[in-house]
Structure 1
Amino acid sequence: MSSNSNSSSSRNKIELLSCVSQNYSWGKLGHDSVVAQLLEKGTTNNNNKSIDQQQPYAELWMGSHPSGPSKIQQCNTNLIDYIHKVKQEQGISLMGDTVEKQFCNDFPFLFKVLSIRTALSIQSHPDCNLAKVLFKQHPDIYKDPYHKPEIAIAITPFEALCGFRPYDQIKDFIKTVPELSNSLPNNILNDHSDCKDLLKSIVTNLLNAKPELIALNLKTLEQRLTQKQEQEKLDKLVIKLHQQYPGDVGVFFAYLLNYLCLDRGQAIFLAAGEPHAYISGDLVECMAPSDNVVRAGLTPKFKDVNTLTQMLTYTTGCPGIIEPIITDPCSGHLSFQPPVDEFQVDLYDFSRLSPNQNTIAVASNPGPSILLVLQGDNITIENDKLTSNNLTNITQGTVLFVPCDTPLHLINNNNSTNQPVLIYQASVNQRVFQ
């Protein structure tokens, strides 16, 4: 990879980023992990560490969150510090005046890749007001004052529990799954006629039940399901969760939350107060710049049961799959635009181009963006504002910071049409500028 940049101005200069990987225990091991593949093949692993086949590679963080800030490779400076330094020394806003004002000079989003081997915790994220309260009261646990809406886009088949099931389904499971019923107070269905009150009572009672009672009922449940001659998908999920987290009350949430199986390219949006747990697969994720997680199950970490039971929305029904906006079927450009200001995610898929085309134009963006080459090699990125900053021989795993107002052209130099080229771009939601 090479860049011919020798300009003293950073106004439209694209910068290579070094990014942090998180080795949480639930991550896929070694080369099974997309995160590990990106680290090995790209430029973000500037320490040139080899991939350990026994090591979990769970998340790749791209942004400026203090728990894993990206760095500008050329000067080894944290991204947000570089942005502030350029503003101070050159008087240039790399994020744009609108973004600076709305987000108080903080980098507005956190971009990630996740590779999931075992289920993440049953969790939810606080809204803006609660995030500030939790940060003030427990800064050792909730480490920033921001809410955390997020979008998850599957890059391999992806399983998740998300949002409460329809009301009637939950009632039927309580009636037909004796181990679940035995973990709840008698007549709980008769004591609550209101859907929200019933859900809150179910969740509160489960999470506050005696651990030995939950463990016994789950063991009985696993034995019963294992002995079934024909296991349904949900049966197999419950068995898998219990094998991963024996005796954990979170296993019962398989009967309370929607079980989703997403194909590559499908996406879900998670607003504040919605319970969820990612089960398996690889995904691109974008969120507000927060790491605030309120957990209640499928985890050895701290469970904040009281906060979680109070903050959930208790709405029911299967969440919709987010479909990307496609303005031109032959342009290769797909856009995922969730209902929040902090972020949107765009995908540039060269397989969607018309025959004999190898170039995708990326329009000038009024805010900053981060580009991730998920798949592809021998790519050129032409900077329409600063031609001395054209980048060549871009490879899979490359991560780039693109300042505001910097239009680009992405060029696939491979003659073979069999090699997929997928480039993701995270940026501030365009509705901020409308």
Structure 2
Amino acid sequence: MDRLVNTVRPYAWGSLTALPELLGQEPTGEPQAELWMGAHPGDPSRVDRGDGPRRLDELIAADPEGELGTASVARFGPGLPFLFKVLAAGIPLSIQAHPTLDQARAGFAAENALGIPLDAPGRSYRDDSHKPEMVCALGEFEGLCGFREPAGAAGLLAGLKVPGLDRVIDLLSVEDPAEALRGALAAVLTLDGATVREAVEVLAGTDPAGEYAPYARIAEDFPDDRGVIAGMLLNHVRLRAGEALYLGAGVPHAYLSGVCVELQANSDNVLRAGLTPKHIDVPELLKIVLFEPGAPGVVHPVRVDGTPGEQLYPVPIDEFRLSRFELDGVEREIDGRTPQILLCTEGAVRLTAADGAVLDLGRGQSAFLPATGAPTRLSGPSGTLFRATVTV
């Protein structure tokens, strides 16, 4: 067992207080957006096994099978296949979607062939992996997820009575829903600034408790951004603590406010559609977005046979597996066949290894458990522990 020392990324959309509160630190006065836990080379966690702090990605690279287990290496390769985060949104994140594995590999190779540096602002593909992800709310959490039915989106836009949006509304009436949504999004991303500003002015005067309220709040932070209109093509969703969303390849989404844990494939590939000053590659975005309407599916945890107390959030992939334990004084046990990261979000949890070694985690603290094959016991009178691992 290794206690993790993790990096906080200070993106502009981050909360000023949520992550410092979780970590028991004083606010810096700057936005604190993402706490990264894992072995992504962009900001790997560090561990100390008695010879000073070392990067987790370097430890894994030195002994992949010893750290990850034979089964994980055979299935996913010699790297930790997931990245675990805590996200704290003070203002909305960009509307975005992520590529499939084939799209990521092709896009990464194409940009490499063009000689575009990995850290170039205009680059769309930072690596050759896909980025499915799951978010689980730690409190009330608000976001946008997936496309509305075209008729519903058209009605919402028509209610603004902004003439510049008529073309978008007409495109949403195309018989094929996928073509309707594709045409509408393409049109929104080329809207003139005057139309966007007029729509924002109308939104400012709408009922603060009505159906336009989420988009009016977005407009307060992004008054000149086409993403305000693009967001109205998407479903608004509000999660309660313990509820989750799974975002597969191509699903457009944005997180608006709140704190969540996020578990994703070990990638940083993002194609953006608005609510950001960052690069927006419209042709590439339209290639990878999944233009399928439908209500967002909120994921609720289910009990796990054979592991009492474990609540699993089911996902259709094996590269990551997210579950939660609510400690109540009863000792629990987890197997050690796979690599895992454990994060305490409330109370305190004691980890006891098969050899008797003990590691105590308080709120905001995390640990890496190599795939030794030996079980680890969890105990504590009161605490919430999230478990990130893989399925092999």
Fold equivalence (TM over 0.5): yes
Output the amino acid matched with 2:388.
A
The structure-2 alpha-carbon separation of the partners of 1:94 and 1:297, relative to structure 1 and needing over 3 Å to count, comes to same
The structure-2 alpha-carbon separation of the partners of 1:53 and 1:234, relative to structure 1 and needing over 3 Å to count, comes to farther
Q: Residue 222 of structure 2 corresponds to which residue in structure 1?
A: 245
1:162 matched to 2:135: no
Q: Residue 341 of structure 2 corresponds to which residue in structure 1?
A: 370
**TM-superposed deviation, 1:186:** 7.6
> What does residue range 104-119 of structure 1 map to in structure 2 within 5 Å?
104-119=77-92
**TM-superposed deviation, 1:83:** 2.5
Aligned counterpart for 1:66 among listed residues 20, 41, 47: 41
Check whether the contact 1:287–1:343 (CA below 8 A) recurs between aligned residues.
yes
Output the amino acid matched with 1:244.
D
| C-alpha distance in 1 between matches for 2:168 and 2:14 | 39
The structure-2 alpha-carbon separation of the partners of 1:66 and 1:399, relative to structure 1 and needing over 3 Å to count, comes to same
**TM-superposed deviation, 1:182:** 1.8
Q: Residue 264 of structure 1 corresponds to which residue in structure 2?
A: 241
Output the amino acid matched with 1:410.
L
Q: Residue 425 of structure 1 corresponds to which residue in structure 2?
A: 387
Q: Residue 51 of structure 1 corresponds to which residue in structure 2?
A: 26
Check whether the contact 1:150–1:271 (CA below 8 A) recurs between aligned residues.
yes
TM-score (norm 2): 0.90
Q: How many aligned positions are there?
A: 379
| C-alpha distance in 2 between matches for 1:82 and 1:190 | 52
**TM-superposed deviation, 1:366:** 2.1
> What does residue range 338-349 of structure 1 map to in structure 2 within 5 Å?
338-349=315-326
Aligned counterpart for 2:351 among listed residues 372, 381, 388: 381
Aligned counterpart for 1:299 among listed residues 249, 259, 276: 276
Check whether the contact 2:168–2:188 (CA below 8 A) recurs between aligned residues.
no
Stretches of 4+ moved more than 4 A in 1?
none
| C-alpha distance in 1 between matches for 2:156 and 2:196 | 14
| C-alpha distance in 2 between matches for 1:361 and 1:191 | 55
| C-alpha distance in 2 between matches for 1:143 and 1:428 | 23
**TM-superposed deviation, 1:250:** 0.4
| C-alpha distance in 2 between matches for 1:38 and 1:190 | 43
Check whether the contact 2:172–2:181 (CA below 8 A) recurs between aligned residues.
no
**TM-superposed deviation, 1:309:** 1.2
Q: Residue 36 of structure 1 corresponds to which residue in structure 2?
A: 20
TM-score (norm 1): 0.82
**TM-superposed deviation, 1:163:** 0.1
| C-alpha distance in 2 between matches for 1:263 and 1:309 | 32
**TM-superposed deviation, 1:38:** 3.6
**TM-superposed deviation, 1:165:** 0.7
Output the amino acid matched with 1:262.
L
Q: Residue 390 of structure 1 corresponds to which residue in structure 2?
A: 358
SS in 2 for 1:151: strand
| C-alpha distance in 1 between matches for 2:148 and 2:56 | 41
Check whether the contact 1:359–1:409 (CA below 8 A) recurs between aligned residues.
no
The structure-2 alpha-carbon separation of the partners of 1:136 and 1:170, relative to structure 1 and needing over 3 Å to count, comes to same
Q: Residue 115 of structure 2 corresponds to which residue in structure 1?
A: none
| C-alpha distance in 1 between matches for 2:262 and 2:79 | 19
The structure-2 alpha-carbon separation of the partners of 1:187 and 1:366, relative to structure 1 and needing over 3 Å to count, comes to closer
Output the amino acid matched with 2:14.
G
> What does residue range 197-236 of structure 1 map to in structure 2 within 5 Å?
197-210=179-192, 212=193, 216-228=194-206, 230-236=207-213
SS in 1 for 2:61: helix
Q: Residue 47 of structure 1 corresponds to which residue in structure 2?
A: none
Task: Name structure 1 gaps, 5 residues minimum.
Answer: 1-13, 41-49, 415-419
**CA deviation profile, 1:148-179 (whole Å, cap 9, x unmatched):** 00000000100000000123212323433322
Q: Which moved more, 1:137-146 or 1:119-128?
A: 137-146
Check whether the contact 1:207–1:249 (CA below 8 A) recurs between aligned residues.
yes
1:24 matched to 2:11: yes
Task: Name structure 2 gaps, 5 residues minimum.
Answer: 113-117
Q: Residue 138 of structure 1 corresponds to which residue in structure 2?
A: 111
Output the amino acid matched with 1:196.
A
| C-alpha distance in 2 between matches for 1:186 and 1:222 | 16
Output the amino acid matched with 1:372.
L
Check whether the contact 2:312–2:323 (CA below 8 A) recurs between aligned residues.
yes
**TM-superposed deviation, 1:108:** 0.9
Determine which structure has more spread, i.e. the larger CA radius of gyration: 1
| C-alpha distance in 2 between matches for 1:166 and 1:186 | 14
Output the amino acid matched with 1:76.
P
**TM-superposed deviation, 1:346:** 1.2
Q: Residue 96 of structure 1 corresponds to which residue in structure 2?
A: 69
Check whether the contact 2:143–2:257 (CA below 8 A) recurs between aligned residues.
yes
Output the amino acid matched with 1:205.
A
| C-alpha distance in 2 between matches for 1:250 and 1:333 | 39
| C-alpha distance in 1 between matches for 2:169 and 2:87 | 41
How well do the aligned residues superpose, as a CA RMSD in angstroms? 2.2
**TM-superposed deviation, 1:410:** 1.4
